[in-house]
Amino acid sequence: MSREPGRQVPTAHGTVAFSRLPEELRNVTYSGARHPGAATPECPSYAADGTAGASGHPAPGPFADLARGANCQLYAYAVLRHFGLLIPPLRSAELWADTRATHRVDRPRPLDLVLFDGGPAEGRPPGYGAHVGVHLGPDQVLHLCREAGRPAVWRSADFAARPRYRRFLGVKRAGRPQER
């Protein structure tokens, strides 16, 4: 984790933690076309230092990749990147299966990734199409979805009330066990 002031694991929860994020992370618009793995230049992967991964051209800032919007995964990864946690550009099923950059945990801590879905789908791997958010504290998840259009902090009941997010799939933590 970064030792820079203001970039540590948030001690405030929910909307207070959200209000302390840089404006670029509070004003992202939802775009389903902007997802991990989308073709360059539509959705380049940016390194933590703000440089474009695929094209090699410098980006104007660390959140330049969010200027044209993001889906839930790109947004969650950008929030984690702000706090010094790097996740490769994995789609939801890849994230759920990943054991190299993340690991599953039973109880979420701030900055863990939480996944929600509508339940298993025949012929699709676990986690396929799951919604990804960032745990901010007790019953508080920061996420970006089409319905809200901009980043929002929801409670578990907010997800459960929507069929596409009704099932809590689980929690992934950046790094390997005992790293964070």
Task: Express each pLDDT in 136-177 by its tens digit.
Answer: 999 999 999 999 999 999 999 999 999 999 999 999 999 877
Cα–Cα distance, 62 to 107 (Å, whole number): 30
Look at 178 and 44; give whichever has higher pLDDT. 178
53-81 pLDDT, tens per residue? Answer: 444 444 456 777 888 899 999 999 999 99
pTM listed for this prediction: 0.81
Which residues face 137 on adjacent strands?
140
The highest-level CATH class for domain 14-174 is alpha beta
Q: What percent of the chain has pLDDT over 70?
A: 77
Structural contact between residues 98 and 170, judged by C-beta atoms closer than 8 angstroms: no
What is d(CA 154, CA 145) in angstroms, rounded to the nearest whole number? 11
Number of residues that this document lists for the chain: 180
**DSSP-assigned letter for residue 28:** P
- Residue 11 confidence class, pLDDT cut points 50, 70, 90: low
Residue with the larger pLDDT of the pair 48 and 79: 79
Return the H-helix or E-strand segment holding 117: strand 113-117
